[in-house]
Amino acid sequence: MGIFLNRGNEEFDSVIHSQIYVDKTDILHFFNEVINTEQRYVCISRPRRFGKSITANTIAAYFEKGCDSRPLFQGRKISEYENWDCNLNKYDVIRIDLADIRARRKTPEETLDSIEKDVVMELDESFPNIVNCEKDGIADALAKINDKTGAKFVIIIDEWDCLFRDDKSNEEVQARYINLLRGLFKGNSSKKFTVLAYLTGILPIKKYNSESALNNFYEYTMTNPEGLAKYIGFTEDEVKALCEQYHMNYDEVMEWYDGYQFPGVNHICGPNSVVRAMRSGSCKNYWSQTVAYNNLVHYITMNFDGLRDDIVAILGGHRVKVNTFSYENDMMNFKDKDDVLTALIHLGYVAFDEETEEVYLPNKEIRQIFERTLKATKWSKVIHAIENSERLLRATIAEDEEEVAEQIDICHRENTSILNYHDENSLASCITLAYYTARNDYRIIREMPAGYGFADMVFVPLPGRDKPAMVIELKWNKKCETALDQIREKKYVEALNGYKGEVILVGISYEKRSENKEHMCKIEKITLL
């Protein structure tokens, strides 16, 4: 067994015998359908800790010749398909972990030199007297081997985009790397020796002038995963099964880690965080231990028109329109706020709704990352508003109408340049930002179906939180008493079906036509038995 060529199936064996393993082997049915076809070139990109390497282990163990992987896949999801073993252990597999090689080399140039030299040397050992180790690159060596022996290869490159992330300013190295990939995957000779190519990383394939550098690849990304969406992370059913097995509260787990949605798959959770929560028996922020905050600070403080407004709106629980098509899929060439937001989608910091083309904060774990990151920025007014939100929540529960109105006034005044009031939706942005830290105790639902309409905001206490539920109705250029009347008349409290205990009814208004342009508040408390 080699380092790059035919490494064996031990890595996959280790995965399936881990304490927690969620069977995703049915993705191999997809690869069995595209192998040896024009669709054989596949790139799947997703954020850190979303199972990219596990998928690479699965593919390698299934296709690699010279080892017996049948016992590892027998009884797994893939074995439920007819002829599931048609390509089992049938091909030579080359696997390159670019991030691992880059970590062991001083420069990116040495990384590329190492790939070319070391892979060719291993090919020479397995197929002697065919290649010239001094002159042949990987593509030349594979073409010669295929011509002499008929051997065909599955090629896997894990963390394919490492040089575009870690050496983002070195365009010379990136160009050399792309040429290496083109030699491997483009042209008639590639079709002869490559039966399947699998690239995985965080970023989609680099674009040049809106054209993919490897335009023969079929890409499955965080903005367009197509039929592979359920393999990006853990699905709702998979999380439910884990919660039952490990006696975890399902709603709390989903509150922390759910939120990525795709057509046909509405609930996708970050797999690493879910697994760690199950093992520890505690929901908390596990992503933060794998992510460098300075990168997020760099992105969200870029000086593009409208970017700060969009970030604040996202923090306030709103969705923001984004054009994802112009992004060049690197970490250097940002032209506008849409490019920054698209990069954040691929990095997993925001979620993307493909149908509406909007971004939003997916879950509590990511929200905490933004909170901590903002403390490293110069957005002092936003930070102050978030810090004041604890005082606002206490005032609301205490039915202190004047204090609630005052705190919302402060939030509006200190963020006037960002929260430009012009309608009820803008008021909702201010209110959501003002109640920002309430999310530590509540699940906050906007436009929740209830009674005879939609409640503007419903605050449902999280499991184990000793807090009253809240229903908030907002009015623009109307009296706040009107908001309370609407809550009662349209029976918005019915949104809390099954809840027992105190409910705070809150009416908040902003009268732009008034002399002082102040917020007003009326509060009423009821008890559901």
Tokens (6 digits) for 196: 């399947």
Query: CA of 521: how far to CAs of 9, 346, 410, 467, in Å?
Result: 64, 41, 14, 20
Distance CA 199, CA 42 (A): 6
Please report the pLDDT score of residue 291 as a whole number.
53
Distance CA 205, CA 399 (A): 54
- Quick check: 422 and 517 in contact, CB under 8 A? no
Please report the pLDDT score of residue 8 as a whole number.
93
Please report the pLDDT score of residue 35 as a whole number.
97
Sheet containing 351-353: which strands, arranged edge to edge?
320-321, 358-360, 351-353
Q: Is the dihedral of CA 302, 307, 308, 313 positive or negative?
A: negative
Whose tokens are 């409910």? That residue is 503
412 found inside a domain: yes
Distance CA 345, CA 299 (A): 12
- Quick check: 341 and 309 in contact, CB under 8 A? no
Q: What is the DSSP letter of 204?
A: P
Q: Are residues 392 and 507 in the same domain?
A: yes
Tokens (6 digits) for 27: 């993705």
Instruction: Tell me the CATH number at 98.
Output: 3.40.50
Q: Are residues 516 and 421 in the same domain?
A: yes
Tell me the β-bridge partners of 509: 475, 520
5 found inside a domain: no
Residue ending a domain, among 329, 357, 378, is 378
254 found inside a domain: yes
- Beta strand ranges found along 161-316 (DSSP E): 194-201, 207-208, 211-212, 218-220, 234-235, 260-262, 265-269
Please report the pLDDT score of residue 30 as a whole number.
97
Please report the pLDDT score of residue 423 as a whole number.
60
Q: Are residues 135 and 249 in the same domain?
A: no
Question: How many structural domains are present in the chain?
Answer: 3
Q: Are residues 353 and 444 in the same domain?
A: no
Please report the pLDDT score of residue 60 as a whole number.
97
415 found inside a domain: yes
Q: Are residues 18 and 147 in the same domain?
A: yes
Tokens (6 digits) for 335: 């032209």
Q: Are residues 207 and 236 in the same domain?
A: no
- Quick check: 511 and 517 in contact, CB under 8 A? yes
- Quick check: 408 and 434 in contact, CB under 8 A? yes
Q: How many CB atoms lie within 10 A of CB 502?
A: 14
> Which positions ≥6 away from 314 have C-beta within 8 Å?
320, 350, 359, 360, 361
Query: CA of 302: how far to CAs of 143, 281, 312, 334, 357, in Å?
Result: 46, 38, 14, 9, 22
**Angle, CA of 295, 160 and 209, to the nearest 5°:** 80
Instruction: Tell me the CATH number at 400.
Output: 3.40.1350
> Which positions ≥6 away from 3 have C-beta within 8 Å?
118, 122
Please report the pLDDT score of residue 319 as a whole number.
87
According to the 3-state scheme, what is the secondary structure of 267-281?
EEECHHHHHHHHHHC
383 found inside a domain: no
Q: Are residues 463 and 411 in the same domain?
A: yes
* Residue 413, helix vs strand vs coil: helix
Q: Are residues 81 and 162 in the same domain?
A: yes
Q: Are residues 298 and 368 in the same domain?
A: yes
Low-confidence ranges of the chain (pLDDT < 70): 1, 209-210, 288-294, 378, 380-382, 385, 414-426, 512-517
109 found inside a domain: yes
Please report the pLDDT score of residue 87 as a whole number.
98
Residue ending a domain, among 181, 202, 220, is 220
Please report the pLDDT score of residue 209 as a whole number.
67
- Quick check: 402 and 392 in contact, CB under 8 A? no
Please report the pLDDT score of residue 369 as a whole number.
87
287-339 pLDDT, tens digit per residue, is: 865 555 567 888 888 878 888 878 877 887 778 999 999 899 888 889 999 99
123 found inside a domain: yes
Q: Are residues 361 and 417 in the same domain?
A: no
Question: Which amino acid is located at 42 in the chain?
Answer: V
DSSP secondary structure of 323-357: --SS--SSSS---SHHHHHHHHHHHTSSEEETTTT
Residue ending a domain, among 326, 347, 378, is 378
Q: Are residues 148 and 26 in the same domain?
A: yes
Domain span at residue 253 reads 227-378
Distance CA 155, CA 40 (A): 10
1 found inside a domain: no
- Beta strand ranges found along 167-308 (DSSP E): 194-201, 207-208, 211-212, 218-220, 234-235, 260-262, 265-269
Rounded (to 5) percent helix, strand, coil in the chain = 45, 20, 35
Q: Are residues 324 and 423 in the same domain?
A: no
81-107 pLDDT, tens digit per residue, is: 999 999 999 999 999 999 999 999 999
